[in-house]
């Protein structure tokens, strides 16, 4: 046997110089396992192709499939027979050096077990091989048929064809496009080309033999689920990913389009033969949907988390929210759930995988996906055309998603919703009584949150189905309340009965008037799954021209390695950071431009090497300006500053994760125009403690004579910022800040400390005044932070601060919505205030 294998590998060895290539050499090949193995390796050599290899008698029989395998039986793919390879080659993933035979990148694209369907020895001689595959991507019955050679043709050409099998359902779409990452390491071809580990032989071992498969692969899926049932825990709820409303569908192949469903968003956790159904806010609503619970619990999986939308259909077969509410009241049976994402599978968190790969796994899990669990299909590219067809058919709209993005909790521009008609949620703040005998409410007064204020958005007097009766039961006869609206027109106030703003309804509307009031609104039902505090006015954002992962130039500056992921677990790339600063520049630059900068750099993200840089050096982009500044010792050094967006983008190109700014501008360097009090809590304190302290400090400083604005830092603390006219110099500004800190410590020593010593801060809040001395810096408004999840230091209003639960709640995906809101710091533009002798005296100085 050893001699036979040695002879079979003679050509393989002759073609390779093993001192130059990392491919397996001619060492004795090990048996791959109990069952015959196969692998498919994606190989970018002279031309891209897929190497198909079947284990047989100690070697891997090999074919180069020029266009790759296809599940379409009508597609006969050319497969050129190549030299036999050692079994160890089935674990090879890496690069073959240029100049060597087959030079290029090799990815392990699929792996698994196989078995012959007909006599394999006779088939090799006759030129027809029939076999079954049980891979992670290729399954079912296939054939290889040898073509008759042409005169003088030396190559042995075969055709690889998928058999038609009754009852077998192949995955939808082009399987080669659907799976573009390694089946073993999750790497792309580009990532493999950059280097990294080669695969171990154990990576090749299949989990189950092909002989245990039924034709649809169901037996193996059940076996995998059973093997994990004992150790995979029930997944916990997590914040779902949300879509940003835009006005135009995005163009390009980087997007896929799904139908927008009119129902209840849900996350479904599965483990141990049980299922839990959560709302988008984390409420356990399992008992409301018994049919969906039963179907989910029966899936052959464990430790799995699905994302989808629970719906009911109207008489026209369209999803309809009113029908959903009626079905829930009747016991929740007969409902369906469109499942569009898979966040965890068999105990493994897969949220970092590209969307199309998650969906491919989801489709395999659900199969054809008949009701009540239905796989949500999608269309790749052509989103504008898809939207037009969806609208013509009378549906609500589409959700366009970046095909290769990871799953990111919270609202982002990775998912975009485009509606055929306008509809959104509003909160009821009151109602007008009806003068008709058969109804108690004529119309409801609704609002939404904008910039920390509850803003009146109009009346809604039309109601679908049982919505009016449900609202009358909930609202009429309740306790009296004051108007919850920040402002209310006189005609709306007249005769209104006000209620606590807790009830959320979904409203279909024609449009908003120029002053933001609903036109032709129809209440479709109560949204029990939505928190009233989360309801904001949805304003369509500008649709990106292209997916920014395809862009490498911002503000005229080319971003190298623009698709490099900097924040593990989020998928946030250098291009994402550049797009963030492009988006927030109108708000950020007034606070940052022409101030000296200190850049916190991490070219490989916060988990790699990081360092601060404040001095200019050779090789930095010209868009980062330089200026000579005299140091305290009289020597001069070169500092950096930005005077526009290009400066910020240049920082991103250098790997800047955080921008820190001086408190003065370069043209008045010795006269700061901002004062910063940083409230930095001890580890044991809650954010509520810091938030309460911020309001306390605000009032104390206000009584002294300064108005302030808050900013949540993206970490644990809050910055209280007072804009100044620049009348006083650094020593006076620092002295005032120190006086405030010491005054707070003196009056409430159990709450505040003015000394930065860790030992003295236990259980207290450090009032950091040291950011107000020459050379010190503070995090810039709208700067990202080098922390988990890439939070953003975000200016807020005092009203909004009351509603926040943490200092790191804002991320780059939230910034589009914030840019559409009024600037929370706009009121400070007209403030004229300075550090004077009177203020210094008020804190015990002079």
Please state, for a pLDDT cut of 90, what percent of the chain lies above it: 52
**E strand intervals along 651-782:** 656-665, 674-681, 709-712, 718-723, 752-753, 765-768, 778-779
The rounded mean pLDDT for the chain is 86
C-alpha angle 117/92/48, rounded to 5°? 80
Instruction: Supply the pLDDT for residue 333.
Output: 86
In this structure, the answer to whether residues 276 and 141 fall within a common structural domain is no
In this structure, the answer to whether residues 612 and 653 fall within a common structural domain is yes
CA dihedral (789, 790, 794, 800) in degrees, to 10, reads: -10
Q: Is 637 a member of any domain?
A: yes
Task: Tally the domains of the chain.
Answer: 5
Q: Is 230 a member of any domain?
A: no
pLDDT of 206 above 70: no
pLDDT of 478 above 90: no
Instruction: Supply the pLDDT for residue 428.
Output: 96
Instruction: Supply the pLDDT for residue 514.
Output: 66
Which tokens go with 404?
Answer: 């290769």
Please state, for a pLDDT cut of 70, what percent of the chain lies above it: 91
Among 389-393, 462-466, 470-474, top mean pLDDT goes to 470-474
What is this structure's pTM?
Answer: 0.45
CA dihedral (219, 223, 224, 226) in degrees, to 10, reads: 140
Instruction: Supply the pLDDT for residue 635.
Output: 86
pLDDT of 223 above 50: no
Instruction: Supply the pLDDT for residue 1.
Output: 55
In this structure, the answer to whether residues 335 and 208 fall within a common structural domain is no
Residue 413: which pLDDT band, with cuts at 50, 70 and 90?
Answer: confident
Q: Is 746 a member of any domain?
A: yes
pLDDT of 245 above 70: yes
Q: Which of 630, 651, 667 is the last residue of a domain?
A: 667
Neighbours of 78 (CB within 10 A): 15
* Contacts of 545 by beta carbon, 8 Å cutoff, 6+ apart: 251
Contact 246, 398 (CB under 8 A): no
Query: Which residues are part of the catalytic machinery?
Result: 260
In this structure, the answer to whether residues 186 and 139 fall within a common structural domain is yes
Residue 370: which pLDDT band, with cuts at 50, 70 and 90?
Answer: low
Cα 818 to Cα 816: distance, rounded to the nearest angstrom: 5
Q: Is 229 a member of any domain?
A: no
pLDDT of 218 above 70: no
Q: Is 228 a member of any domain?
A: no
Instruction: Please confirm whether the linkage preceding 372 is cis (ω < 30° from 0).
Output: yes
Residue 369: which pLDDT band, with cuts at 50, 70 and 90?
Answer: low
In this structure, the answer to whether residues 785 and 688 fall within a common structural domain is yes
Rg over CA atoms, the chain: 32
C-alpha angle 735/738/743, rounded to 5°? 120
Which tokens go with 307?
Answer: 């994302």
Contact 419, 429 (CB under 8 A): no
Pairwise pLDDT comparison (227 vs 386), residue with the higher score: 386
Lowest average pLDDT, out of 15-29, 391-405, 417-431, goes to 15-29
In this structure, the answer to whether residues 405 and 256 fall within a common structural domain is yes
In this structure, the answer to whether residues 660 and 695 fall within a common structural domain is no
Q: Which of 404, 419, 434 is the last residue of a domain?
A: 419
Instruction: Supply the pLDDT for residue 228.
Output: 41
pLDDT of 249 above 80: yes
Q: Which of 634, 667, 700 is the last residue of a domain?
A: 667
Lowest average pLDDT, out of 538-547, 648-657, 687-696, goes to 538-547
Instruction: Supply the pLDDT for residue 774.
Output: 94
Q: What CATH number should be reported for the domain holding residue 596?
A: 3.90.920.10
Q: What CATH number should be reported for the domain holding residue 426?
A: 2.40.50.140
Contact 792, 712 (CB under 8 A): no
Q: Is 455 a member of any domain?
A: yes
In this structure, the answer to whether residues 95 and 197 fall within a common structural domain is yes
Instruction: Supply the pLDDT for residue 3.
Output: 61
Lowest average pLDDT, out of 21-35, 392-406, 415-429, 634-648, goes to 21-35
- Scored b (16 or more CB within 10 A) or e, 690-719 reads bbebbebbbebbeebebebbbbbbbbbbbb
- Scored b (16 or more CB within 10 A) or e, 561-583 reads ebbebbbebbbbbbbbbbbbbbb
Neighbours of 820 (CB within 10 A): 17
Pairwise pLDDT comparison (256 vs 419), residue with the higher score: 256
CA dist 103 → 41, 79, 612, 701 (Å): 14, 19, 41, 69
Residue in the structure block whose two tokens are 């835009």: 246
CA dist 279 → 239, 285, 342, 391, 525 (Å): 10, 7, 16, 27, 16
pLDDT of 768 above 70: yes
Alpha helix (H) residue ranges in 300-433: 321-329, 355-366, 383-392
Instruction: Supply the pLDDT for residue 822.
Output: 84
**E strand intervals along 224-329:** 241-245, 255-259, 264-271, 274-279, 304-311
Contact 164, 74 (CB under 8 A): no
pLDDT of 266 above 90: yes
For 799, phi then psi, to 5°, come to -65, -40
Instruction: Supply the pLDDT for residue 34.
Output: 66
Instruction: Supply the pLDDT for residue 334.
Output: 86
Q: What CATH number should be reported for the domain holding residue 296?
A: 3.30.470.30
Contact 741, 752 (CB under 8 A): yes
Instruction: Supply the pLDDT for residue 201.
Output: 38
Contact 337, 297 (CB under 8 A): no
Over residues 825-832, the mean pLDDT reads 89
CA-based nearest residue to 143, from 160, 157, 119, 126: 160
Neighbours of 363 (CB within 10 A): 21
Question: Each residue of 291-343: pLDDT tens digit?
Answer: 999 999 999 899 999 999 999 988 777 888 888 888 888 888 889 999 999 99
Cα 295 to Cα 144: distance, rounded to the nearest angstrom: 39
Q: Is 234 a member of any domain?
A: no
Instruction: Supply the pLDDT for residue 27.
Output: 55
Pairwise pLDDT comparison (54 vs 387), residue with the higher score: 54
Contact 641, 596 (CB under 8 A): yes
* Contacts of 150 by beta carbon, 8 Å cutoff, 6+ apart: none
Over residues 533-560, the mean pLDDT reads 70
Residue 368: which pLDDT band, with cuts at 50, 70 and 90?
Answer: low
Contact 382, 252 (CB under 8 A): no
Q: SS3 for 185? A: coil
Lowest average pLDDT, out of 410-424, 477-491, 602-616, goes to 410-424
Cα 480 to Cα 673: distance, rounded to the nearest angstrom: 47
Determine how β-strand 397-402 pairs with β-strand 410-419. antiparallel
pLDDT of 841 above 80: yes
pLDDT of 95 above 70: yes
Among 150-159, 485-494, 620-629, 715-724, top mean pLDDT goes to 715-724
* Contacts of 458 by beta carbon, 8 Å cutoff, 6+ apart: 445, 446, 517, 518, 519, 521
In this structure, the answer to whether residues 371 and 445 fall within a common structural domain is no
Looking at residue 643, the DSSP 8-state letter turns out to be: S
Over residues 149-153, the mean pLDDT reads 78
Pairwise pLDDT comparison (192 vs 721), residue with the higher score: 721
Instruction: Supply the pLDDT for residue 700.
Output: 94
In this structure, the answer to whether residues 83 and 204 fall within a common structural domain is yes
Instruction: Supply the pLDDT for residue 550.
Output: 52
| Residue span of the structural domain in which 490 resides | 422-534
In this structure, the answer to whether residues 455 and 487 fall within a common structural domain is yes
pLDDT of 231 above 60: no
pLDDT of 667 above 90: yes
In this structure, the answer to whether residues 394 and 490 fall within a common structural domain is no
Alpha helix (H) residue ranges in 487-642: 490-493, 574-592
Q: Is 729 a member of any domain?
A: yes
């Amino acid at each position: 046997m050893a001699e036979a294998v040695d002879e079979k590998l003679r050509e393989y060895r002759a073609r390779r110089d093993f001192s130059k290539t990392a491919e397996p050499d001619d060492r004795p090949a090990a048996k791959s396992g109990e069952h015959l193995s196969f692998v498919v390796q994606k190989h970018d050599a002279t031309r891209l192709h897929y190497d198909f290899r079947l284990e047989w008698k100690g070697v891997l029989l090999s074919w180069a499939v020029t266009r790759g395998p296809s599940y379409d039986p009508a597609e006969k793919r050319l497969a050129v027979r190549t030299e036999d390879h050692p079994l160890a080659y089935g674990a090879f993933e890496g690069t073959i050096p240029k100049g060597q035979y087959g030079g290029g990148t090799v990815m392990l694209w699929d792996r698994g077990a196989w078995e012959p369907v007909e006599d394999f020895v006779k088939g090799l001689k006759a030129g027809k091989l029939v076999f079954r595959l049980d891979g992670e991507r290729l399954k079912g019955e296939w054939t290889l048929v040898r073509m008759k050679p042409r005169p003088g043709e030396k190559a042995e050409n075969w055709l690889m064809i998928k058999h038609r099998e009754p009852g077998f359902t192949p995955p939808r779409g082009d399987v080669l496009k659907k799976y573009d990452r390694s089946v073993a390491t999750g790497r792309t071809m580009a990532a493999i080309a950059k280097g990294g580990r080669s695969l171990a032989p154990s990576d090749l071992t299949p989990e189950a033999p092909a002989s245990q498969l039924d034709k649809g692969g169901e037996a193996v899926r059940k076996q995998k689920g059973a093997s994990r049932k004992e150790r995979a825990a029930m997944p916990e709820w997590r914040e779902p990913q949300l879509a940003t409303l835009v006005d135009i569908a995005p163009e390009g192949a980087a997007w896929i389009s799904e139908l927008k469903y009119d129902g209840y968003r849900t996350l479904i956790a599965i483990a141990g033969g049980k299922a839990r159904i959560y709302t988008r806010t984390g409420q356990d609503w399992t008992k409301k949907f018994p049919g969906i619970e039963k179907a989910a619990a029966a899936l052959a999986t464990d430790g799995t988390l699905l994302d989808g939308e629970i719906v009911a259909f109207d008489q026209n077969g369209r999803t309809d929210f009113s029908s959903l509410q009626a079905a829930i009241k009747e016991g929740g049976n007969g409902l369906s759930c469109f499942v569009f994402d898979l966040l965890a599978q068999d105990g493994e968190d897969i949220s970092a995988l590209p969307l199309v790969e998650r969906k491919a796994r989801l489709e395999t899990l659900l199969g054809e996906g008949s009701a009540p669990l239905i796989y949500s299909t999608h269309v790749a590219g052509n989103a504008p055309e898809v939207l037009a067809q969806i609208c013509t058919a009378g549906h609500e709209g589409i959700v366009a998603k970046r095909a290769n993005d990871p799953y990111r909790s919270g609202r982002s521009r990775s998912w975009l919703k485009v509606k055929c008609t306008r509809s959104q949620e509003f909160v009821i703040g009151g109602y007008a009584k009806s003068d008709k005998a058969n109804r108690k409410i004529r119309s409801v007064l609704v609002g939404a949150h904008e910039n920390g204020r509850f803003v009146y958005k109009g009346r809604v007097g039309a109601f679908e189905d049982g919505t009016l009766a449900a609202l009358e039961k909930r609202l009429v006869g309740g306790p009296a309340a004051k108007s919850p609206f920040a402002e209310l027109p006189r005609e709306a106030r007249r005769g209104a009965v006000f209620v606590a703003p807790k009830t959320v309804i979904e409203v279909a509307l024609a449009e908003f008037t120029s002053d933001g009031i609903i036109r032709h609104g129809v209440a479709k039902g109560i949204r029990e799954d939505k928190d009233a505090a989360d309801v904001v006015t949805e304003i369509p954002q500008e649709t990106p021209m292209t997916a920014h992962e395809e862009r490498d130039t911002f503000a005229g500056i080319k971003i190298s390695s623009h698709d490099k992921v900097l924040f593990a677990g989020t998928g946030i790339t250098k291009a994402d950071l550049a797009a963030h600063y492009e988006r927030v520049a109108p708000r950020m630059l007034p606070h940052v431009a022409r101030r000296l900068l200190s850049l916190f750099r991490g070219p490989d993200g916060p988990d790699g090497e990081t360092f601060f840089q404040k001095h200019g050096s050779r090789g930095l982009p010209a868009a980062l300006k330089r200026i000579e500044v005299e140091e305290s010792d009289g020597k001069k050094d070169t500092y950096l500053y930005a005077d526009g967006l290009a400066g910020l983008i240049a920082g991103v190109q250098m790997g800047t994760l955080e921008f820190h700014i001086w408190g003065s501008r370069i043209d008045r360097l010795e006269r700061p125009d901002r004062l910063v009090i940083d409230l930095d809590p001890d580890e044991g304190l809650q954010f509520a403690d810091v938030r309460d302290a911020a309001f306390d400090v605000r009032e104390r400083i206000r009584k002294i004579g300064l108005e302030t604005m808050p900013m949540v830092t993206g970490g644990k603390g809050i910055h209280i910022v007072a804009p100044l006219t620049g009348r006083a110099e650094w020593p006076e500004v620092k002295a005032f800040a120190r006086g405030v800190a010491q005054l707070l410590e003196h009056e409430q020593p159990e709450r505040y400390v003015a000394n930065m010593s860790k030992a003295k801060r236990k259980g207290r809040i450090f009032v950091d005044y040291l950011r107000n001395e020459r050379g010190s810096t503070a995090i810039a408004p709208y700067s990202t932070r080098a922390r988990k999840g890439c939070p953003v230091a975000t200016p807020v209003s005092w009203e909004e601060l009351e509603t926040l639960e943490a200092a790191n709640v804002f991320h780059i995906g939230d910034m589009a919505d914030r840019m559409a809101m009024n600037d929370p710091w706009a009121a400070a533009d007209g403030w004229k205030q300075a550090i004077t002798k009177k203020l210094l005296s008020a804190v015990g100085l002079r």
